Structure 1
């Protein structure tokens, strides 16, 4: 990558770990970032979450090049693309071209699909700018026709359309011949079931339920996917973004299963999570974890200690993954060591990510934001 970057006339900085990479990004504000997922000190997803959560760095295009398959999570966090190693030289050239196209693009195109005229006007006023071209349509058919001829940088859709439902529009976008599948933000007044959320998140980057604070959240998501430089926004919009991020909506009303045999760890985690509005369920070993998941149907995420008596966390994770109900359930392993072999064992067993003891609460919250299901309950 370094050699190819120089060959293509790019200056290049190299970081060998998560902390080093984030530090260099905030110090030098590069034009673009190439990110690996399997870093020695932290998960690459947690680096991506920090980059996209920092007003100074969130506009920088990030393309992932990694042997780990984390495409869906990375794209939802704002990555512009994902290449899986091993990659050929031509594939890497395509990665650089994608970054170059983003950097040289002057006008960003947004497709708004909303049948309510007042909602169309309010969203247009909210996100419109000199360098943002908004195309607003009322029906799914109009949207599909435009997607067949135009590349959009972001798409906002309501689910209740006069001709087809929004989820059906997304399904048709995935099968029909369109120019490209843009990052999709579902912006709806409907309360959704878990099954509907899961189905929509196959095709969309985030779901925002319309409410009193939802315009701030929508602005936050759109500026992320358009790679807008936050400091160049109006003072009013910068204030709206700060308001949006000041609320930890991602944790409100969530249910996390903490699996650990150490009472002190359980107490510390429960205290920290409950302060964020999380409801905590506890399992003392792998058997109890499986039992709790059978008993409680709406667990959002599992924090799984690896070393436990009876059934350890890795075996519990393997058994949980065999159940079709829990194949998509986020599981974060808590390991005693941060050695690469331990991390590989955790991922092979079926965990989504890992965190080494002693637990750093800021790192934990960052990782939870990465893996918590992407519905925003505003």
Structure 2
């Protein structure tokens, strides 16, 4: 599962220059590997992927079926149907206290697409983009595609894997254009409280820095304070692009509906790009997303509580296993596991030289699929997901215990 040029065959002389700068997606690579193992009939405990095991709400599925029978199958407004943008506008106000009109919202083909549109609209050649580590795997690759430079800002467990103005200041200069803030964080589960966000907001205002706030996991923040968007602070609405999606919130990953909320000039630029690439998202998926967003939200609390239960079980299980440690995540559905103990040690006859190799041993010898931290900017960590049914998670923990042993 190592992420390298050897995973793909490219001929530089025949292809565009950007193909040599971008790395393949490690999450896509793991998905492919797990699928091949399952086709072979192997048992795989899928603790690596961010695929919610809860079903799409029935109301959303019914709405999609009605859309098909009603022949709602043609092109729509490139930005998304107006009722959906109005529903998103209402939800942002209801859930975040954010005021965005429907004309400031662009519905895209998933949250990743919305992020791509935003980065391409904001970044210019030579710009630098601050990316806290650990980061979601596509942030640096999309920045590189846009011709800008990713500038990584390390964080530590002692600080809850959160970035601060002091850390940002060390890597900020006249070329700094943008901060990508992902919270709840994938992979660490870190969630910023209001005071921390106020300090980051002040820093960005003082330095005239844009923010892309990736809030795809906002529905699953577990503290009593809940989730707060950096866009809600004074002076931040006009310099922030909010990214969200129905993928994780409503277990609609395959429906591919994401969205952005931004100042009108930025939304217009993003819409211009989208008009020449994907055009509108699926008309049927838009109808399903509309019903999911504007319908009853009571089921989210039930799912949130289930995630908290699973989180606590996974954290306790990880902390029992030899050579593994973790913080208790404050949101999303991942546990960021420090496995650096195993670097240089021998496991099942193999010397562990990297997290990629440890993940490979876990998959081949224990049947446990985990994400190596390499793609998230860490040489010391693994990412485990608790967006899986409890029996599968417990089976994966048992298999890891059998291979790695328990702490003495």
Q: TM-score, normalised by structure 2?
A: 0.28
Q: TM-score, normalised by structure 1?
A: 0.30
